[in-house]
């Protein structure tokens, strides 16, 4: 089925690996021109080159989503080269887990700055071109953790904030032809997840709490992204699509 995003300009932050890379590949496979946005230009460039070698269209940009001026300049450059941005996927994120009594100011602010403030800065910079063209799909990556999790107060607050921002912007931007939705992934098997010292414990706990008897895969999240980026989702906005195999805690 043609989902109607061929030749659309798609920007994916945090796009060089893991969930971001899976969504970059999926969007490119549907004919979108994808901008791989990451702090690591080498990784972003390698993914863009892979897509081009497979017949797709992609380019890489390096920018720290925490840096407001740099974000504005990066978005301006993309619009100058391509004329518009049709699809924005805010996937840049990280976690720094600590109990509340041990949570450092640095780790609190780092997670809030990257996950929540970064989503705000990039979205604020992209919205004017979407409004000018009367069309846009904004997809924010939240998390199942937004419902609450242990030793993750910074991450939970940031992801819950992203969900709230999503709903506020859906109300604000709907009449401009822009939909704004969020995806809340559950535990997904990624290289980053496997590198965690608590991986074995987290994996077992996720399997115990997931009703589908398997963990999430990158393709599960990429498929959700494609739907929300598609023409078929035009009447869907302000929604949180939880992709967690039935897990709620």
Name the active-site residue from 155, 199, 227, 235: 155
Q: Helix H segments across 9-140?
A: 18-29, 41-53, 68-82, 105-111, 118-133
Three-state SS for 122? helix
* CATH number of the domain within which 149 lies: 3.40.50.720
Q: What is the pTM of this model?
A: 0.94
- Please check whether residue 93 lies inside any domain of the structure: yes
- Please check whether residue 102 lies inside any domain of the structure: yes
Query: pLDDT digit string (tens) for 186-224?
Result: 888 887 777 777 778 778 888 888 888 788 889 999 999
What is the average pLDDT value for the chain, to the nearest integer? 94
Give Cα separations from 158 to 25, 84, 113, 248 (angstroms): 26, 28, 9, 18
- Please check whether residue 92 lies inside any domain of the structure: yes
- Please check whether residue 3 lies inside any domain of the structure: no
Buried b (16+ CB within 10 A) or exposed e, 202-231: ebeebeebbeeeebbebebbbebbbebbbe
CA distance 176 to 234: 12
pLDDT on residue 197: 77
The residues near 83 (Cβ < 8 Å, ≥ 6 apart) are 9
- Please check whether residue 1 lies inside any domain of the structure: no
pLDDT on residue 248: 67
- Please check whether residue 249 lies inside any domain of the structure: no
- Please check whether residue 114 lies inside any domain of the structure: yes
Give Cα separations from 107 to 71, 99, 204, 235, 244 (angstroms): 22, 11, 26, 38, 26
Radius of gyration of the chain (CA): 17
**Low-confidence residues of the chain, pLDDT below 50?**
none
Task: Domain of residue 35: give its range.
Answer: 9-241
CA atoms within 13 Å, Cβ hemisphere of 197: 2
pLDDT on residue 249: 63
Has 227 been annotated as catalytic? Answer: no
- Please check whether residue 127 lies inside any domain of the structure: yes
Number of domains making up the chain: 1
pLDDT on residue 188: 83
Three-state SS for 185? strand
CA distance 133 to 111: 33
What is the DSSP-derived secondary structure letter of residue 200?
A: H
């Amino acid at each position: 089925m043609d989902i109607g995003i061929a030749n659309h300009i798609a920007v994916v932050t945090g796009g060089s690996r893991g969930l971001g890379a899976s969504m970059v590949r999926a969007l490119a496979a549907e004919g979108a021109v994808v901008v791989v946005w990451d702090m690591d230009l080498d990784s972003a460039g390698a993914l863009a080159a892979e897509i081009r070698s497979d017949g797709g269209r992609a380019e890489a940009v390096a920018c720290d989503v925490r840096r407001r001026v740099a974000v504005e300049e990066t978005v301006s450059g993309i619009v100058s080269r391509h004329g518009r941005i049709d699809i924005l996927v805010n996937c840049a994120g990280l976690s720094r887990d600590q109990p509340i009594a041990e949570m450092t100011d640095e780790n609190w602010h780092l997670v809030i700055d990257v996950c929540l403030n970064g989503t705000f800065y990039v979205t604020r910079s992209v919205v004017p071109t979407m409004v000018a063209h009367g069309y846009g799909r904004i997809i924010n990556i939240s998390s199942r953790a937004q419902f609450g999790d242990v030793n993750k107060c910074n991450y939970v607050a940031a992801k819950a904030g992203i969900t709230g921002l999503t709903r506020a912007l859906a109300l604000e931007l709907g009449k401009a032809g822009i939909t704004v939705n969020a995806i809340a992934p559950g535990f997904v098997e990624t290289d980053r997840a496997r590198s965690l010292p608590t991986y074995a414990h987290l994996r077992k706990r996720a399997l115990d709490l997931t009703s589908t008897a398997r963990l999430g895969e990158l393709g599960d999240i990429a498929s959700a992204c494609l739907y929300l980026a598609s023409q078929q989702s035009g009447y869907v906005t302000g929604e949180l699509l939880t992709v967690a195999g039935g897990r709620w805690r």
